Chain A
């Protein structure tokens, strides 16, 4: 579905979630908890491989203070979020954010495999 993704034009940080506006005027909201739980970094991703560890990650994320992140644009393909606590490593491709907006699994059901270690 990411193929038909319109361009993200507005990223409004609200108290508990972010409102996304796309070029076709469609609007979506994604909670910060959902955003943080779907962090694509090499530390967070493997935790989503199993249901139990995924729930643990979720609980860890939900226990963090509610805050608006700093946002940085990465190249022309992604966003990075900086939080005062918790993981700030993940680089979120626009496709990933689009999947989250549409309540789809951004990992496409694939388990994360560490190529590195």
Chain B
């Protein structure tokens, strides 16, 4: 049976929940207090008491977000204009690849309505531990800490139907009420598009290093990626670079040594290769197109971080909860991810290390 989650039923599962729309002027610089009004009672009514408690909780969360910002050295947003380009795969891949270097890493899955990072990290069905009002992330492969809406759902088939302000409140709790501890990197995985979620995170979490734009080489995806790049300028969050996912599919095989092999490729092309002395051959098919991510990066003057191969192992790994980087740490996909991470780390530097004196 399919049922919809009501706002109340979902939020009841969370800690100290309040919908943002219900908050009362806690952020307003304008006082509503009338000094001439008669003082009715020294004790606040239960309603006033509740408002004060909500304002206090909100203030506490804001302070907490600032503190959390200091404990996490680098925060990276992963975005794409279009869905289905492999954002979550790239997010988990970046996190795991960084963790492989011995760094302390977390993933914040901000995709409220379609959270799938836990499944990819082998944390399906896991519950979050709450202690003293603080939420402790689940730990996946290589010690990567994960927070996701998926941990709060009873049934993965049930949709979360929330309007913007409720999502905003949940995101602020994801940031402010989670005990991440000291992290080298926090990778933040977003739903596709340029809507509420990245805006809320960019405004709530201080000192975000920048965003990684994931795209595939097809024109539709590239068009939307350009939108994300332009969006970054509005948010004043730098683009750390573009990653081209599903870049090419490598077909490998065996034949008699020295055999000339022809393979029918997309767009009516024929690829030719010759097997080596041991009879091995391989050809890379550009399933979509090639080089689109790089040319988009060049067009917008942002760095190109690298291309990731079209690897069916990602699909199997995602479904089984064992990422390709974990199952085959020396494989071509892991190597490609390491290249992307290296390019990413080159972009994430402290101001001082650029060696520029500003007077």
Contacts and interface: CB of A to CB of B under 8 A. Distances in A.
Interface residues of A, number: 30
Contact of A75 (B223, B296, B347): B347
B210 interface: yes
B89 to A, nearest CB: 24
A76 B301 contact: no
B210 A75 contact: yes
Interface string A52-85: 0000000000000000000111111110100000
A40 to B, nearest CB: 7
B238 A78 contact: yes
A88 B236 CA distance: 9
Contacts of A77: 303, 347
B359 interface: yes
Contact of A9 (B231, B347, B356): B356
A75 B356 contact: no
Contacts of A89: 233-234, 236
A10 B356 CA distance: 6
A115 B359 contact: no
Nearest to A78: B238
B48 interface: no
B8 interface: no
A30 interface: no
Contacts of B296: 115
Nearest to B228: A116
Interface residues of B, number: 33
A90 B233 contact: yes
A96 B300 CA distance: 12
Contacts, number: 76
Tell me what chain B mostly uses at the interface: helix, strand, loop, or mixed: helix
Contacts of B351: 72-73
Interface string A93-117: 1011000000000000000001111
B136 interface: no
Given A73-B351, A115-B223, A10 B230 contact: no
A116 B230 contact: yes
A25 interface: no
Contacts of A11: 356-359
- The residue in B227, B296, B354 that gathers the most chain A C-beta atoms within 10 A of its C-beta is B354
Given A115-B223, A115-B226, A115-B227, A76 B354 contact: yes
A5 interface: no
B43 to A, nearest CB: 47
Contacts of B229: 115-116
Interface string B212-241: 000000000011011101110110101110
A22 to B, nearest CB: 11
Contacts of A7: 355
Interface string B331-359: 00000000000000011110101111111
B299 interface: yes
A95 B301 CA distance: 9
A95 B300 CA distance: 13
Interface string B283-323: 00000000000001001110100000000000000000000
Interface of B: 209-210, 222-223, 225-227, 229-231, 233-234, 236, 238-240, 296, 299-301, 303, 346-349, 351, 353-359
Question: What are the nearest 7 A-B pairs in CB distance?
Answer: A115-B226, A116-B227, A74-B238, A75-B347, A73-B351, A12-B359, A42-B230
Interface of A: 7-13, 40-42, 71-78, 80, 88-91, 93, 95-96, 114-117
Given A75-B303, A76-B354, 7 more contacts: A11-B357, A40-B301, A42-B233, A73-B356, A80-B236, A90-B233, A91-B233
